[in-house]
Amino acid sequence: MKVRDCIFFQLIKASQTGAAYWADKVAHLGVTASQAMVLNFLGEEDRIPSHQLGQKLGITSATMTGILDRLEKMALIERRSHPEDRRAILVCLTNAGRQIATEINAIMVVANKTFLDQFKFQYQAEFQNVLKQIWKAAT
C-alpha cells in the first residue's frame, strides 16, 4: 500500500487542511484556531468548569491549561472559583471575550458554508456524518 492511499495519512492531511483554513479565517482577531474554538464553545455555554470545556473540545487538561492561560493574558476569559465546588474552576468570558466569541461564531457560519461548498450539495451532509462517525468511534 502506498502511503497516500492509507486512511490515516488522508485523515491527517484533511485535518491539517481544515485547521489551516480555520486558522486563516480567525487570524485577524489575534487568536489561534484552537483559541477560537474555545471562545466559540464559551459563547454557547459560558461559566463552565475547565475540565468540562476540555471534554467538549476533546483536548487534554494540559493543552486546555495552556490555551486558557493565553486567553486570560489576552483578557478574553477569567477563571473564577466554582461557588459549589471548591476544587473546580469556572471559565468565564470577559466582555471583550464575549464580543470576540460572537464575531468568531459569525465567521464560523460563513467559513463552514464556504468550506462545504467545495463539495457537491448531495455529499455535504454525508461528509459531515462520516466525520461525526469518526469522532464517535474515537470516544
Residue 98: CB partners within 8 Å, gap ≥ 6?
43, 46
**Taking the domains of the chain in order of start, what are their residue ranges?**
24-111
Closest CA to 34 of 48, 15, 47: 15
Task: Please give the Cα distance from 64 to 48 (Å, whole number).
Answer: 13
Other C-beta atoms lying within 10 Å of the C-beta of residue 91: 27
Give this prediction's pTM.
Answer: 0.86
Structure-block grid coordinates of residue 108? 464560523
Over the stretch 110-127, which tens digit does the pLDDT of each residue have?
999 999 898 888 788 888
pLDDT of residue 139: 66
Fold of 24-111: Arc Repressor Mutant, subunit A (1.10.10)
| 78 Cβ neighbours under 8 A, 6+ residues apart | 72, 91, 92, 93, 94
* Model pLDDT for residues 32-53, shown as the tens digit of each residue: 999 999 999 999 999 999 989 9
Q: What's 29's DSSP letter?
A: G
pLDDT tens track for 64-91: 999 999 999 999 999 998 888 888 889 9
β-sheet bridge partners, residue 89 = 81
The whole-chain average pLDDT of the chain stands at: 92
